[in-house]
Structure 1
Amino acid sequence: MLFDGMPNLVVAATGARLLVNPGLDRNRPYGEAERAILSLEGARLAHSTISAWPGYAATPVLSLDALAAASGLAAIAYKHEGRRFALKSFKALGGAYAVERLVVQRGSAEGLTVTCATDGNHGRAVAWGASRLGVKAVIYVHETVSEGRATAIAAFGAEVRRVPGNYDDAVRASAEAAAANDWTIVSDTSWPGYDLIPRDVMQGYAVLAMEAEEQGAAPTHVFVQGGVGGLAAGVLSWYWELQGAGRPRVIVVEPETADCLYRSALAGRWTAVGGDLDTIMAGLACGEPSQLAWALLAPGADAFVTIPDARAADAMRDLADLGIAAGESGVAGLAGLRAIAGDAACRAALGLDGASRVFCIGTEGATDPVIYREIVGRDPEDVERMSA
């Protein structure tokens, strides 16, 4: 139903909220200001660097024909990042790439210590990248990060420090420690005075769209995870600079309890949200948008969707039935699509119809097998064995 006084806002029967971006300008060219943040040239450099790493392979783009038919769409393409290196997450393209760029720019790894805050996957990628290059890493996690995810970070030799509060509290703790110890922050979140390294992180994320294009994906719509906005901005930047006003519609999906991008769009300005940000989509439990990411999303993203946790759990089980083990945050884009695809007003607002080809990024596999088993009722190895 449409909300009175807010014609851009639609709420579906599934509990999802859709906000067509009031600040959208699809005819705005991708100019010098945008290229100073992210560019095709930067994405190609990231791709050439990452593709030279041992074990690199473009992650598969899977056709979800049954879900597309059930949703009244021509196609749903799902990029399965659960097969990205040993990390089972797209974050290898960002955090690990930024660590390598840092070492290259310094000319040496000697004496370098990197730090960051994480909900799990980013810290794991930074720790992995640091381990590859002989760099010390100190990773901050907040109180609700699962022990399984903290252990996975420590397995790469990083020191893991747990702090009270939420993700944004961990960001502050990491920044304070970096200032006190002369460490280097490798964050996917930017703030005033800190924006160079987050550009490298986000630039690595654009490789996802570049790979997908090489694999034949030609979407009319892209549903992509929110969080601080780095992934969404990276993907948007590729399509926007390459295709201009003819690019696919980009829809950003967030948990309803951690909806800083949705609220920023609603307010027409960068906006932080407070509270415990509690959601099963742990990788998206962020209260403050990246300012760099928001500079691209504010004029360039087509819409913002928020979903309740139940929709993510449903999507995990739907994918398990297809032999795909996907984590809670990894399914958010697909869950957002599924949550609104049955609502006539949402479909009309986004131009979704029987000819639409939708691209979703499955940003993580079952990065915490214990949590995955609790939600899906099966072990991820058994699920993936179905499609082997």
Structure 2
Amino acid sequence: MNPQVLTSGRVRLFLNPAADAPQQAYRDAHREILSRRGFEAARAVIASWPGHAETRLLALPGLARELGLGRIDYKDESTRFGLGSFKALGGAYAVNRLLLRELSQRTGRSDLSFADLSRPEFRDLIAGITVCCATDGNHGRSVAWGAHNAGCACVIYIHETVSTGREAAIAAFGAKVVRVRGNYDDAVRRAAQDAADYGYFVVSDTSYPGYMDVPRDVMQGYSVMVQEALDQLGDAPAPTHVFIQAGVGGLAAAVAAHLWETLGPARPRIIVVEPEKADCLYQSALAGKPVAVGGELDTVMAGLACGEVSLLAWDILQPGSFAFMLVPDDAALAVMRRLANGEGGDPPIVAGESAVAGVAAGMAAAQDPAMAAALGLGPDSRVLFFASEGDTDPELYRQITGRTAAEVRSGAGK
């Protein structure tokens, strides 16, 4: 058995032998992917959008006491731009960046800015552009929202197990929704083929050879959330651990990169978390190189049901992650219910299926002596979770928790 792998029930932990030492500085090669400079540009654009507001950072002292940890903070993305997830920061920002590049190229002008996207004289030109992507739900919703706001056309590809609730949320922004047989990666391939056939512009959060610029923009948008959390912590000591869920790895890479560059040697240990049924990053860490996993990727954590690693994300996560973890679906469902109940004096929280993988892993690790020791978890630990979505499928959320989001927030039916 691999001595770097620890198990507790169906939870698995792999201590990353490729992780850089804490004192290793953020490299220039990484800044070519994600950087403070790119973050500043993204923040300026996103802050100008109607409805912009910081999401809340919640302290969870009850959960911290239960787990024997010094502090737990929870970044709640359930209200981001009314879309219900952090994805609002990435896809929509990438749509804006793509449209500005295309507008500049078609007009031959190098002096255009994001403000020019709303000028009447460019309306017809923008309306003739079609963006597309594959999605498990939240990314496609963000791309559709960004396209709707900018005035361009949009086609979103979903696989056969994406819920009708998430499909309707995407279509509400005027996007054409195409359902594809197979899993998420099949939808990715169909989107790429149709884009080549019909002249669409792919706005994907997955990077692959020859396709890097747009996924970089998506990830850079996510860094706005990370800096918000740091600002909200204020004078409190920096977190020592971050358990962050991953699909293709874009969110995890954005979190790892921003904390690494910003905090330097004081950066927290990054633990990347996936569903046990969709473990492309975990398997890649074991292999020491990007590995694709097949099958149906059938997990309730729909936003994490990805079988192929984003190459840009991998370039950051391989050296930047302290460990990789896998959690089963039932652990995520139990955490959703616990957060909704507001146990231990903590506030009741609405968290979707994909939002809680990090929390489930953190709880499992803290409660297992061997895992806690391996990760350095204890009374002095300060853990930060990024809860990436709320009830993005309201009916499914009600089925899992037994209550609607409104009932949870009001304390009804507890």
Instruction: Please indicate, yes or no, whether the TM-score normalized by the shorter chain is above 0.5.
Output: yes
Amino acid at match of 1:324: I
Map 1:168-179 → 2, pairs under 5 A: 168-179=185-196
Map 1:36-47 → 2, pairs under 5 A: 36-47=32-43
Per the TM alignment, residue 381 of structure 1 is displaced from its structure 2 partner at its CA by: 1.2
Structure 2 residue 261 is the aligned partner of structure 1 residue 241: yes
Q: Of 55, 59, 64, which residue of structure 1 is paired with 2:51? A: 55
Per the TM alignment, residue 380 of structure 1 is displaced from its structure 2 partner at its CA by: 1.3
Which residue in the other structure is 1:197 paired with?
Answer: 214
In 1, the alpha carbon distance for the partners of 2:24 and 2:281 equals 20
Map 1:182-193 → 2, pairs under 5 A: 182-193=199-210
Map 1:226-305 → 2, pairs under 5 A: 226-305=246-325
Per the TM alignment, residue 377 of structure 1 is displaced from its structure 2 partner at its CA by: 0.9
Q: Of 99, 123, 128, which residue of structure 2 is paired with 1:111? A: 128
Report the TM-score when normalising by structure 1: 0.97
Amino acid at match of 1:200: D
Which residue in the other structure is 1:82 paired with?
Answer: 78
Which residue in the other structure is 1:92 paired with?
Answer: 88
Structure 2 residue 340 is the aligned partner of structure 1 residue 320: yes
Per the TM alignment, residue 28 of structure 1 is displaced from its structure 2 partner at its CA by: 3.3
Which residue in the other structure is 1:209 paired with?
Answer: 226
Which residue in the other structure is 2:106 paired with?
Answer: none
Give the gaps of 5 or more residues in structure 1. Answer: none
Q: Of 97, 100, 103, which residue of structure 2 is paired with 1:101? A: 97
Higher Rg:
2
Q: Of 24, 31, 34, which residue of structure 2 is paired with 1:28? A: 24
In 1, the alpha carbon distance for the partners of 2:17 and 2:128 equals 47
Which residue in the other structure is 1:17 paired with?
Answer: 12
Structure 2 residue 367 is the aligned partner of structure 1 residue 366: no
In 2, the alpha carbon distance for the partners of 1:73 and 1:326 equals 21
In 2, the alpha carbon distance for the partners of 1:91 and 1:307 equals 22
Structure 2 residue 364 is the aligned partner of structure 1 residue 339: yes
Structure 2 residue 354 is the aligned partner of structure 1 residue 329: yes
In 1, the alpha carbon distance for the partners of 2:228 and 2:173 equals 27
Q: What secondary structure does 1:101 align onto?
A: helix
Q: What secondary structure does 1:82 align onto?
A: coil
In 1, the alpha carbon distance for the partners of 2:88 and 2:127 equals 22
Give the gaps of 5 or more residues in structure 2. Answer: 104-121, 343-347
Structure 2 residue 84 is the aligned partner of structure 1 residue 67: no
In 2, the alpha carbon distance for the partners of 1:110 and 1:147 equals 27
Write the deviation string for residues 81-125 of structure 1: whole angstroms up to 9, x where unpaired.
Answer: 101111010000100110111122223524210000000000000
In 2, the alpha carbon distance for the partners of 1:104 and 1:214 equals 30
Whether contact under 8 Å (1:221, 1:359) holds in the other structure is: yes
Per the TM alignment, residue 370 of structure 1 is displaced from its structure 2 partner at its CA by: 1.0
Which residue in the other structure is 1:349 paired with?
Answer: 374
Q: What secondary structure does 2:391 align onto?
A: coil
Which residue in the other structure is 2:144 paired with?
Answer: 127
Per the TM alignment, residue 332 of structure 1 is displaced from its structure 2 partner at its CA by: 1.2
Per the TM alignment, residue 379 of structure 1 is displaced from its structure 2 partner at its CA by: 1.1
Structure 2 residue 144 is the aligned partner of structure 1 residue 148: no
Amino acid at match of 1:239: L
Whether contact under 8 Å (2:366, 2:378) holds in the other structure is: no
Alignment CA distance shift 1:157-1:110 (3 Å): closer
In 1, the alpha carbon distance for the partners of 2:341 and 2:77 equals 18
Structure 1 outlier segments of 4+, above 3 Å: none
Whether contact under 8 Å (1:22, 1:266) holds in the other structure is: no
Point out the structure with the larger helix share.
2
Greater displacement, 226-235 / 215-224: 215-224
Whether contact under 8 Å (1:95, 1:188) holds in the other structure is: yes
Write the deviation string for residues 113-139 of structure 1: whole angstroms up to 9, x where unpaired.
Answer: 000000000000000000000010000
Whether contact under 8 Å (2:127, 2:153) holds in the other structure is: no
Per the TM alignment, residue 312 of structure 1 is displaced from its structure 2 partner at its CA by: 0.3
Q: What secondary structure does 1:205 align onto?
A: helix
Report the TM-score when normalising by structure 2: 0.91
Which residue in the other structure is 2:241 paired with?
Answer: 221
